Amino acid sequence: MAGTARLICGAAALAEGGAGVRFDWPPAGGAGKGFVVRHDGRPRAYVNRCPHLGVELDWQPGQFFEETGLYLVCSTHGAIFEPGSGLCVAGPCRGARLQAIAVSEQDGRILINDDVPASGPGDGPANRP
């Protein structure tokens, strides 16, 4: 990951399909506007904003997955997103995507790069399927 990497959390803080970690993401408005979760063994980071109405996804702070831990869900209208790509597969924004944030896992740490946003949905070293 080129540029200045910023520590978000320790890798152990992210359990597969479990609670995520919110972080400040200035390009999207600051406090809590980014989040990272673990899916398929890798961290996945996105802007915390549903493409339908622009509301934050988590139904409780850090709770982004639905009850089975397989999909991300919007707390407001129940839109369902694939965690690996950010693609909305059900709900009012079907076909739209969450905005990916470049993320990596190095030496037991989850890092993002504030200088280099992901170029498209699912981009970034750890966001590629």
Total domains in the fold of the chain: 1
Please indicate, yes or no, if residue 125 is contained in any of the structural domains.
no
Least confident of 68-72, 74-78, 111-115, 117-121: 117-121
The C-alpha torsion from 68 through 7 and 115 to 28, rounded to 10°, is 50
Please indicate, yes or no, if residue 126 is contained in any of the structural domains.
no
pLDDT at 120 over 70: no
Please indicate, yes or no, if residue 105 is contained in any of the structural domains.
yes
Please indicate, yes or no, if residue 71 is contained in any of the structural domains.
yes
Please indicate, yes or no, if residue 122 is contained in any of the structural domains.
no
pTM (predicted TM-score): 0.85
pLDDT at 123 over 90: no
Q: How far apart are the C-alpha atoms of 104 and 11, rounded to whole Å?
A: 10
pLDDT band at 38 (very low <50, low <70, confident <90, very high): very high
Please indicate, yes or no, if residue 21 is contained in any of the structural domains.
yes
Please indicate, yes or no, if residue 106 is contained in any of the structural domains.
yes
* Partners of residue 36 on adjacent β-strands: 21, 45
Which runs of consecutive H residues, i.e. helices, occur in 9-91?
A: none
Residue 73 lies in domain: 5-113
Residue 97 belongs to domain with CATH number: 2.102.10.10
In Å, the largest CA–CA distance within the chain is 39
Please indicate, yes or no, if residue 38 is contained in any of the structural domains.
yes
